[in-house]
Amino acid sequence: MRYSLSSLIANTLNGHKSWPVAWRKAEPRPAYDAIIVGGGGHGLATAYYLAKEHGLTNVAVLEKGWLASGNIGRNTTIIRSNYMLPGNTHFYEWSLKLWETLSRELNFNAMVSQRGVINLAHTPAQLDAYARRGNAMRLAGVDAELLDRAELARRVPGLDLSDGARFPVLGGICQPRGGTVRHDAVAWGYARAADRLGVDIIENCAVTGFTFDGDRVSGVETTRGAIAAKKVGVAVAGSTSEVMRLAGFDRLPIESHVLQAFVSEGLKPFLDTVVTFGAGHLYISQSDKGGLVFGGDIDGYNSYAQRGNLPVVEDVAATACAMFPSLSRLRLLRSWGGIMDMSMDGSPIIDRTPKPGLYLNAGWCYGGFKATPASGWCFAHTIAKDEPHPLNAAFSLDRFRTGALLDERGAGATPRLH
Amino acid sequence: MRIPCPVCGPRSVSEFTYEGDATVTRPALDADADAWFAAVYQRANPRGPHSELWHHMGGCRSIIRVERDTGTHAITGASLVSPHEASE
Ligand SMILES: Cc1cc2nc3c(=O)[nH]c(=O)nc-3n(C[C@H](O)[C@H](O)[C@H](O)COP(=O)(O)OP(=O)(O)OC[C@H]3O[C@@H](n4cnc5c(N)ncnc54)[C@H](O)[C@@H]3O)c2cc1C
């Protein structure tokens, strides 16, 4: 059933008793043309674009838990394309363009809200760096505008813009087309749209091994039996090292780290844009339910525990109060963690692997949510055509060997700093 | 999380700086590019027991090798890294 005003009215009159299921509970079949491991945002988007753009519908998505139980349902929902290196800029801008039409494309309201993303500057040097970044973005066709203090005061009324602030704010840069998207609706929307094109979405099915015919992949072993496939794409975010080890890749340029997120009790409208702190690390927005949604740094050590430690909670809360002193008595409602696949240069990998038929999508660090549409789109292309699309050509697995790194932050091979 | 510093006793994780996988060894200066690639970029990144280096920046400034489970954060050992080892 297509979701529409008339289907909403009909179902309302009917007491909402006859909505069809959004996607089938598929049982694994013995063989597929392609298998995607991981039912997060990237895996589901990949399956959708394989079916939609490449006509490959004999596809299964295998998810170890339930749909959207990983990072796609845990992130702080920020989207943007304010990058500086060409290999990143065009990819993330393509993603933002796909976000702009996503709800119509999927016939599912993903609540894409282009409320702007503002980065604060606290030193003249930082403001200069933002001007440079903004110019680089505009040259690449991306929107950016510099903001002075008066404009910041108008757009972000709660912000401490006084000279007495711990790190006085001098200005900022805004990407007006950036914003937020309801993250679980992205997973559900892609799942429903892929299902309608014939893709099997198989939950509670963990991949436990890979089978090969010589070097070429021939399928996977799972907790629900062996499944044959001509092509297998792995998109398991924080579990990348563990899953790829099953395929014989003992070491990868990735470390898994925990990132926490926080949501406060509900407030009346307080903040209608996304703001990030420039003298530390904090990003904050307000959800439609009124809660403030925010996060900061990763905890900073290898972790597969989907919960973090208290020093980061304290640090993030202190930063939020430094920016918005009026929040000091606000209560936290919830906090949680997700496992990030931190790459060695802070940029992702979407590529073939040395094993024919096996493809890898990983290394998303903090920023993989905004990449979801383009990541799926490019990974689908890479799998279907057995070669990367120009948009993801820079995200190669062997760039760490060849030296063609994409280190946007200039932090070197120190995953905890990206 | 508390790290049992062999010099200072159990201290909050916030006093320490993480220095990563302790099993990675620096290749000889004349080693080939592949050996450097492996040491600089490639990690096992296991779920489970992990040997790692922590620098007690907010304390005695020693570099410590900690045995920690990355799935549970349980710490089963911590020892001083000898100055010779640390400079390698
Ligand atoms: C707290 C937090 C805040 C974030 N904030 C932002 C943000 O504001 N903006 C932004 O752009 N990005 C953000 N991110 C990053 C973003 O969420 C991730 O980069 C992105 O979601 C990762 O891709 P995914 O959706 O495919 O991952 P996931 O949803 O984690 O999908 C991977 C899936 O693989 C499954 N899996 C693992 N092992 C197996 C196996 N053996 N067999 C089968 N399935 C398996 C997992 O169960 C999981 O469902 C944030 C992340 C976190 C944790």
Which residue ranges form the domains of chain A, and what is each CATH number?
Answer: 30-78+183-254+345-417 (3.50.50.60), 110-179+255-339 (3.30.9.10)
Provide the domain count of chain B. 1
Confidence tier at A13 by pLDDT (50, 70, 90): very high
d(CA A88, CA A96): 12
**Kind and range of the H or E run holding A116:** none
Q: What is the mean pLDDT of residues A385-410?
A: 96
Identify the closest residue of chain A to B34 by CA–CA distance.
A401
Quick one: what percent of chain A has pLDDT higher than 90?
97
Residue with structure tokens 């119509």?
A104
Per-residue confidence (pLDDT) for residue B84, from 0 to 100: 59
Beta strands in A145-187 (DSSP E): 145-147, 171-175, 179-180
Q: Could you tell me if the CB of A71 is within 6 A of ligand 1?
A: yes
Interval between CA A341 and ligand 1 midpoint (Å): 8
d(CA B50, CA B45): 8
Per-residue confidence (pLDDT) for residue B15, from 0 to 100: 97
Per-residue pLDDT reduced to its tens digit, A213-255:
999 999 999 999 999 999 999 999 999 999 999 999 999 999 9
Identify the closest residue of chain B to A245 by CA–CA distance.
B44
DSSP string of B21-44? Answer: ETT--PPPTT--HHHHHHHHH-B-
d(CA A50, CA A379): 9
d(CA B72, CA B76): 11
Q: Does pLDDT of A295 surpass 60?
A: yes
SS3 A165: coil
Residue A404, chain B, CB below 8 Å: the answer is no
Per-residue pLDDT reduced to its tens digit, A373-390:
999 999 999 999 999 999
- Cβ pair B45:A254 closer than 8 A: yes
Q: Could you tell me if the CB of A202 is within 6 A of ligand 1?
A: no
Residue B57, chain A, CB below 8 Å: the answer is no
How would you classify residue A204: left for phi > 0, otherwise alpha for psi between -120 and 50, otherwise beta?
left
Per-residue pLDDT reduced to its tens digit, A327-364:
999 999 999 999 999 999 999 999 999 999 999 999 99
State the pTM of this model. Answer: 0.97
- Cβ pair B41:A302 closer than 8 A: no
The set of long-range contacts for B5-11, using a CB threshold of 8 Å and a minimum separation of 24, is: B5/B56, B5/B59, B5/B60, B5/B62, B5/B64, B5/B78, B6/B62, B6/B64, B6/B78, B6/B79, B6/B80, B7/B56, B7/B59, B7/B60, B7/B62, B7/B80, B8/B56, B8/B59, B8/B60, B11/B56, B11/B58, B11/B59
- Cβ pair B1:A309 closer than 8 A: yes
- CATH of residue B37's domain is 3.30.2270.10
Q: Could you tell me if the CB of A240 is within 6 A of ligand 1?
A: no
Residue A307, chain B, CB below 8 Å: the answer is no
Per-residue pLDDT reduced to its tens digit, A166-193:
899 999 999 999 999 999 999 999 999 9
Closest CA–CA distance from residue A25 to any residue of chain B (Å): 30
- Give me the interface pTM, i.e. the ipTM: 0.94
d(CA A77, CA B16): 31
| Domain extent for B52 | 2-86
Pocket test of ligand 1: the residue of A35, A46, A67, A75 to mutate, having most ligand atoms within 8 Å of its CB, is A75
Per-residue confidence (pLDDT) for residue A1, from 0 to 100: 84
Question: How big is chain A by its Cα radius of gyration, in Å?
Answer: 22
Q: Considering all CA atoms of chain A, what is the largest pairwise distance in Å, rounded to the nearest integer?
A: 67
Identify the closest residue of chain A to B35 by CA–CA distance.
A401
d(CA A393, CA A98): 19
How many Cα neighbours within 13 Å face the side chain of B30? 0
SS3 A415: helix
Q: What is the mean pLDDT of residues A288-311?
A: 95
Per-residue confidence (pLDDT) for residue B88, from 0 to 100: 47
Per-residue pLDDT reduced to its tens digit, B49-87:
999 999 999 999 999 999 999 999 999 999 999 765 554
Q: Could you tell me if the CB of A370 is within 6 A of ligand 1?
A: yes
Per-residue pLDDT reduced to its tens digit, A18-32:
999 999 999 999 999
Give backbone dihedrals phi and psi of A344, rounded to 5 degrees, phi first: -75, -15
Per-residue confidence (pLDDT) for residue B82, from 0 to 100: 76
Beta strands in A140-288 (DSSP E): 145-147, 171-175, 179-180, 200-202, 207-213, 216-222, 225-234, 254-266, 274-276, 283-286
Q: By alpha-carbon position, which residue is closest to atom 4 of ligand 1?
A: A75
Contact A263, A180 (CB under 8 A): no
